[in-house]
């Protein structure tokens, strides 16, 4: 595992990645030329030609509304400049993160993604795709983007009503602006710690937690 520390320097904004964040309900037995990750009737599907032209694939998720394009750029650049080259780069791992939960960015090569699609067997690997890389360190070279200060206990994702209340309050305080960076959100929290307290009690779940039986998650 390679570690890389991000600086505050501006990062070029070139378009270098295909954005893969579309989930659609499909027949899991459907056979066609699409690139797919199948699980319980959910597929992450992107036509191979589009991905092959990009070469680099970036994964962010819709439950991270405060995702910062600048941080995405930093993660992509770290991936591209890694020496020796890596197959996968991210700014978080399940038990190691220094960025707030909700800024998660994962990057991999198209070749590595295709290999994961063909070989991943565990349900959470099939659904979330990227765990196959960091759960097989003997097969893939990985890089972790670290922040100088450990902010991994801050929760900026949206999985619960409390999370949604937190994000809504952030946007209310930023209004009328709708575009702002993650460091500006951090500054808000430091000015008013009660803001982070809105959802600080929410326990973060891993990819494996989402694979647990519905009864064990308290879902009817």
DSSP 140-184: S-EEEEE-SS--TT-B---SSHHHHHHHHHHHHHHTT-----HHH
Q: What is the pLDDT of residue 77?
A: 94
Cα–Cα dist 25/137, whole Å: 31
**Which of these three, 117, 146, 175, is where a domain ends?**
146
Residue tagged 């647990």 (tokens): 212
pTM to 2 decimals? 0.73
Are residue 59 and residue 21 in the same domain, yes or no? yes
Are residue 88 and residue 166 in the same domain, yes or no? no
**What residues pair up with 46 in beta bridges, in sequence order?**
35
**pLDDT tens-digit profile, the chain (220 residues):** 655 544 433 332 333 333 333 332 223 333 343 444 333 323 344 445 555 566 788 888 889 999 999 999 999 999 999 999 999 999 998 778 999 999 999 999 888 888 887 887 787 777 777 888 888 888 999 999 999 999 999 999 999 999 999 999 999 999 999 999 999 999 999 999 999 999 999 987 665 443 433 333 333 2
What's the first-to-final CA gap in the chain, in angstroms? 40
Cα–Cα dist 68/182, whole Å: 6
Q: Alpha-carbon Rg of the chain, whole angstroms? A: 18
Are residue 27 and residue 64 in the same domain, yes or no? yes
SS3 at position 44? strand
Mean of all residue pLDDT scores within the chain: 75
Which domain covers residue 197, as residue numbers? Answer: 161-217
Are residue 120 and residue 165 in the same domain, yes or no? no
Total structural domains in the chain? 2
| 206 occurs within a structural domain | yes
| 156 occurs within a structural domain | no
Are residue 92 and residue 56 in the same domain, yes or no? yes
Q: What is the pLDDT of residue 33?
A: 37
Q: Is residue 64 a contact partner of residue 104, using CB atoms and an 8 Å limit?
A: yes
Are residue 75 and residue 133 in the same domain, yes or no? yes
Are residue 126 and residue 210 in the same domain, yes or no? no
Are residue 191 and residue 108 in the same domain, yes or no? no
| 12 occurs within a structural domain | yes
| 154 occurs within a structural domain | no
Q: What is the pLDDT of residue 6?
A: 47
| CB neighbourhood size of 188 (10 A) | 15
Are residue 99 and residue 175 in the same domain, yes or no? no
**Which of these three, 113, 146, 179, is where a domain ends?**
146
What kind and span of H or E run contains 52?
helix 48-54
| 153 occurs within a structural domain | no
What does the block give as tokens for 155?
């929760």
Are residue 72 and residue 173 in the same domain, yes or no? no
Are residue 95 and residue 62 in the same domain, yes or no? yes
**Which of these three, 112, 146, 180, is where a domain ends?**
146
Are residue 141 and residue 170 in the same domain, yes or no? no
Beta strands in the chain (DSSP E): 2-5, 18-19, 23-25, 34-39, 42-47, 56-59, 88-90, 92-93, 96-97, 106-109, 142-146
| 155 occurs within a structural domain | no
Name the residue among 98, 102, 215, 81 with its Cα closest to residue 160.
Answer: 102
| 207 occurs within a structural domain | yes
């Amino acid at each position: 595992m390679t570690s890389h520390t991000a600086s505050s320097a501006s990062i070029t904004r070139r378009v270098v990645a295909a954005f893969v964040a579309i989930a659609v309900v499909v027949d899991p037995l459907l056979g066609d030329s699409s690139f797919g990750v199948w699980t319980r009737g959910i597929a992450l599907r992107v036509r191979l030609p589009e991905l092959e032209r990009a070469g680099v694939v970036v994964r962010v998720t819709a439950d991270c509304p405060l995702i910062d394009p600048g941080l995405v750029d930093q993660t992509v650049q770290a991936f591209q400049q890694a020496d020796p080259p890596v197959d996968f780069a991210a700014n978080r791992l399940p038990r190691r993160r220094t960025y707030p939960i909700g800024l998660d960015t994962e990057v991999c090569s198209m070749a590595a993604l295709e290999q994961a699609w063909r070989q991943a067997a565990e349900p959470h690997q099939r659904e979330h795709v990227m765990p196959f890389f960091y759960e097989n360190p003997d097969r893939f070279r990985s890089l972790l983007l670290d922040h100088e200060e450990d902010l991994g206990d801050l929760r900026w994702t949206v999985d619960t009503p409390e999370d949604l209340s937190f994000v809504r309050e952030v946007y209310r305080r930023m209004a009328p602006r709708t575009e702002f960076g993650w460091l500006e959100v951090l500054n808000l929290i430091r000015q008013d710690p009660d803001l982070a307290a809105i959802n600080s009690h929410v326990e973060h779940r891993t990819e494996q937690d989402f694979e647990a039986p519905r009864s064990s998650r308290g879902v009817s």
